[in-house]
């Protein structure tokens, strides 16, 4: 027999009912908080898709960042040995939502996703999905390739002291603790491989984020996904583009870790990230961008590289705090921005080209002359 929640959608229990009239102008803060969480989870999913694809390369089969029919048919399949292992420290509202988004939108197998929290007994729903939930931060970071920090700012110093000697050089720490800046994180963790997205909220806030608390479901909305795109200003929340530069330097670090020569690494990254084209490219793809060595390092260093050399290990904190060759390239190349925007949307199953064609067909129908009398 199906159970019914009698309190579901009961207006007297909704947040807005307890707000005084003079306080209603501040309700936008609730929507902005939801928008920031959606942005954070969406960008984390995109990053995981890229890392997962790079780790699965074996030279004999091609990999893709785009959703596949196999993933849709079996989202809980057993992971491979090369699959990305993701740990989340913090099982509160953000940690729970992030886990669901990574499971369904980043195609992280449940067995490759662990959560460390002081109250694992509150995560029964996630455990039923196959996600391991426990309270052991050191075990988590020793196991994971990528660790998300989703704890409270007050808890961070203790957590960092606990895990900083257990982090492997190759382990990426991705902080969603917005109150703690990168230099302080580096000091606390003694670790250079840290990502921390920085968001800026516009004064004239536009609420497109809806009221759905389930972020996994919110990312089914094409308008919301496009608003989270790294170059989008829709929704009044913008992302510091140096985060995107750090994402690609982190990808090159994966290639270095696997001892892939730099030229082959650039080809792999180009095939993976620039194979989805905007409609402006047309049928002739010869002028579409491909990554080159000087996109990531200066010419003087590029001249010292031999074909067998790998890229150096990039300090991701420095990449996010200073201008780099790639952040400058990202800012100047409009065609590269267009390709990455299309890739980002396609990684969530949204085809911008298809939408554009449909809109164009609709416009042609509207412009077509009616029957003459």
The answer to whether 279 and 270 are in contact (CB under 8 A) is no
Query: Edge to edge, what strands does the sheet with 172-175 contain?
Result: 132-134, 113-116, 86-89, 146-149, 172-175, 194-195
Q: Distance between CA 103 and CA 188 in Å, rounded?
A: 29
Q: Which pLDDT does position 372 carry in this prediction?
A: 47
Kind and range of the H or E run holding 332: helix 325-332
Q: Which pLDDT does position 210 carry in this prediction?
A: 76
pLDDT in tens, 135-173: 999 999 999 999 999 999 999 999 999 999 999 999 999
CATH of 29-65+81-240, one of 3.40.50.720, 3.30.1390.20, 1.20.1740.10, 3.40.50.450: 3.40.50.720
The answer to whether 347 and 340 are in contact (CB under 8 A) is no
| pTM of the full structure | 0.86
pLDDT in tens, 91-104: 999 999 999 999 99
Give the start-end residues of each E strand in the chain. 86-89, 113-116, 132-134, 146-149, 172-175, 194-195, 199-201, 237-239
- pLDDT at residue 358 above 80? no
Q: Distance between CA 146 and CA 129 in Å, rounded?
A: 20
Residue 267 has a CB neighbour count (10 Å cut-off) of: 14
Token pair for 348 = 């969530």
pLDDT in tens, 54-73: 988 775 556 788 887 665 54
pLDDT band at 356 (very low <50, low <70, confident <90, very high): very low
Q: Distance between CA 269 and CA 9 in Å, rounded?
A: 47
Identify the burial level of 298 via C-beta atoms within 10 angstroms of its C-beta, where 0-12 means exposed, 13-18 middle and 19 or more buried.
exposed
Tell me what the mean pLDDT of segment 215-234 comes to: 92
Q: Which pLDDT does position 21 carry in this prediction?
A: 52
Q: Domain spans of the chain?
A: 29-65+81-240, 244-348
313-335 burial, b at 16+ Cβ within 10 Å, e below that, comes to ebbbbebbeeebbbbebbeeeee
DSSP 170: T
pLDDT band at 13 (very low <50, low <70, confident <90, very high): very low
Return the bridge partners of 281, or none.
Answer: none
Q: Distance between CA 262 and CA 267 in Å, rounded?
A: 9
Tell me what the mean pLDDT of segment 73-88 comes to: 78
- pLDDT at residue 14 above 90? no
Token pair for 353 = 């080209």
């Amino acid at each position: 027999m199906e159970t019914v929640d009698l309190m579901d959608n009961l207006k007297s229990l909704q947040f807005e009912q307890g707000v005084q009239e003079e306080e209603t102008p501040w309700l936008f803060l609730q929507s902005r908080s939801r928008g920031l969480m959606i942005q954070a989870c969406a960008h984390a999913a995109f990053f995981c898709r890229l890392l997962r694809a790079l780790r699965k390369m074996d030279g004999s089969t091609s990999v893709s960042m785009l959703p596949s029919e196999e993933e849709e048919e079996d989202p809980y399949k057993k992971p491979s040995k090369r699959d990305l292992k993701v740990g989340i420290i913090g099982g509160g509202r953000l940690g729970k939502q992030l886990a669901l988004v990574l499971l369904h939108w980043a195609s992280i197998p449940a067995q490759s996703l662990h959560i460390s929290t002081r109250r694992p007994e509150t995560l029964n729903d996630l455990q039923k999905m196959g996600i391991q939930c426990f309270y052991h931060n050191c075990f988590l970071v020793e196991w994971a390739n990528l660790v998300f920090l989703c704890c409270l700012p007050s808890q961070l110093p203790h957590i960092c002291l606990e895990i900083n000697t257990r982090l492997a050089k190759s382990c990426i720490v991705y902080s969603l603790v917005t109150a703690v800046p990168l230099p302080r994180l580096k000091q606390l963790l003694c670790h250079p491989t840290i990502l921390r997205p920085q968001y800026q909220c516009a004064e004239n806030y536009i609420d497109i984020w809806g009221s759905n608390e389930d972020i996994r479901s919110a990312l089914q909305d094409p308008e919301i996904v496009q608003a989270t795109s790294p170059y989008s200003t829709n929704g009044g929340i913008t992302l510091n583009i140096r985060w995107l530069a750090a994402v690609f330097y982190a990808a090159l670090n994966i290639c270095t870790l696997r001892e892939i020569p730099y030229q082959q690494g650039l080809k792999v990254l180009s095939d993976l990230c620039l194979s989805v084209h905007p409609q402006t490219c047309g049928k002739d793809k010869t002028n579409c961008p491909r990554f080159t060595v000087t996109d990531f390092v200066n010419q003087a260093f590029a001249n010292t590289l031999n074909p067998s050399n790998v890229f150096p290990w990039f300090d991701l904190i420095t990449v996010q705090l200073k201008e780099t060759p790639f952040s400058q390239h990202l800012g100047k190349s409009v065609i590269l921005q267009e390709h990455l925007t299309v890739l980002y949307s396609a990684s969530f199953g949204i085809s911008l080209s298809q939408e554009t064609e449909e809109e164009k067909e609709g416009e042609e129908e509207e412009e077509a002359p009616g029957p003459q009398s």
